Amino acid sequence: MNFVVLSSSHGTTFQAILDRIADGKLTARLLGLVSDREDRGCTEKARRANVPVVVVEQKGEETGEQYDARLDAAVRSLGGVDVIAAIGWMYILTPEFIRKWRGRILNVHPALLPKYGGRGLFGMRVHEAVLNAGEKKSGMTIHLMDEDVDTGPILVQKTCSVFPRDTPEKLRARVQDLEKEWYPKVLEMINRDELQLPFNVPHPL
């Protein structure tokens, strides 16, 4: 299975994917990283690991559809992509992009969806919301993207405890530990056909 990582993050979970490739636990083929800026942590980590990087900066005057058309071209430029693994991608993908890659875009969300998902709930805001609600459990969700935000079919959820004296930073670290463990595992499960994606849809390439 060939995959591309789509990220505009510091690259914590992306580094875990690189580490699992290096130690042989992830045998799916990483074709490259697509990011929105050259100065992201994920791009630095990719270049250090000799992973091809394509940067697609957003232009102030262009629409989401125009940006996603260039994003689509960037993904295609990396070769025969089976799966797009979104990790901390800060833009909401347009319905047209989703339709082109339906059933092939994974995303990780730092909460137990459908709770604490949707527009405006990302990053530290998610952990603040979990703590403000007095939840005893949180975790992460790996799901397929659809045309809405954080509503696609769930593939894997893993939980962690929320402690009385937790801060958003402490909870984020605990959730990120789950993401680092399970995102590479899910990719390898797909690679080994232990987890089925709807690959019966026409391939976009």
Active-site annotation, residues:
109
Which of 117-129 are b and which e, b meaning 16 or more Cβ less than 10 Å from the residue's Cβ? Answer: beeebbeeebbbb
The span from the CA of 162 to the CA of 156, in Å, is: 19
The span from the CA of 76 to the CA of 59, in Å, is: 20
Helices and strands of the chain, counted as H and E runs: 6, 7
Q: In what order do the strands lie in the sheet with 53-55?
A: 53-55, 29-35, 2-7, 83-87, 105-109, 137-144, 154-161
The span from the CA of 83 to the CA of 103, in Å, is: 8
**Burial class (CB within 10 angstroms; exposed 0-12, middle 13-18, buried 19+) of 192:** exposed
Contact 108, 13 (CB under 8 A): yes
